[in-house]
């Protein structure tokens, strides 16, 4: 049996990825300041992913605060993520793990080598840069955003 994901309490692997605007976003820049929800999603413009990201958009004021941040990661290229964000009105960071293809998803042990995309997985990274919580959904199963919000806010309590 293959283990999926890293262990709670591990230091979160640091990364720098470009967002939908081509700006670098570095996970370690949030250390000491914010807890971060990392939401890996397989593909932009697909039914479940669009629904999930739209759900985050609709509840963005709950995900983003002085103490919390949300970062969505896929292996789609920056330009596809930009179009996805514009089409769906997504005004939070969508990060491209396009090249080297899936390197960050692989570091988090959620890259599906057969599909060439991340699995539908989430982590909460606390302010100390440690993995506080994780969940790994089957690709057809959407995430429970209430659960994500509870765990994200618990990481700063």
Quick: pLDDT tens for 51-93.
999 999 999 999 999 999 999 999 999 999 999 999 999 999 9
Mean pLDDT of all residues in the chain? 95
Q: Is 49 among the residues known to form the active site?
A: yes
Residue among 12, 17, 49, 131 flagged as catalytic:
49
Chain centre to alpha carbon of residue 153:
16
Give me the pLDDT at residue 156, please: 93
Quick: pLDDT tens for 4-36.
568 999 999 999 999 999 999 999 999 999 999
pTM given for the model: 0.94
Distance, in Å, from the CA atom of 150 to the CA atom of 6, rounded to the nearest integer, reads 20
Burial class (CB in 10 A: 0-12, 13-18, 19+), 52: buried
Give me the pLDDT at residue 36, please: 98
């Amino acid at each position: 049996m293959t283990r999926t994901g890293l262990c709670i309490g591990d230091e979160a692997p640091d990364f720098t990825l470009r967002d939908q605007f081509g700006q670098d976003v570095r996970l370690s820049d949030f250390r000491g300041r914010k807890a971060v929800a990392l939401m890996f999603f397989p593909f932009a413009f697909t039914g479940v992913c669009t629904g999930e990201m739209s759900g985050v958009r609709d509840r963005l004021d709950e995900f983003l605060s002085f103490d919390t941040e949300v970062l969505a990661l896929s292996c789609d290229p920056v330009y596809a993520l930009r179009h996805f964000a514009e089409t769906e009105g997504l005004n939070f960071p969508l990060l491209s793990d396009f090249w080297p293809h899936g390197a960050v998803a692989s570091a988090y042990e959620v890259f599906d080598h057969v599909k060439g995309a991340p699995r539908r997985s989430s982590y909460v990274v606390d302010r100390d840069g440690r993995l506080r919580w994780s969940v790994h959904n089957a690709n057809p199963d959407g995430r429970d955003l209430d659960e994500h919000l509870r765990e994200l806010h618990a990481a700063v309590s």
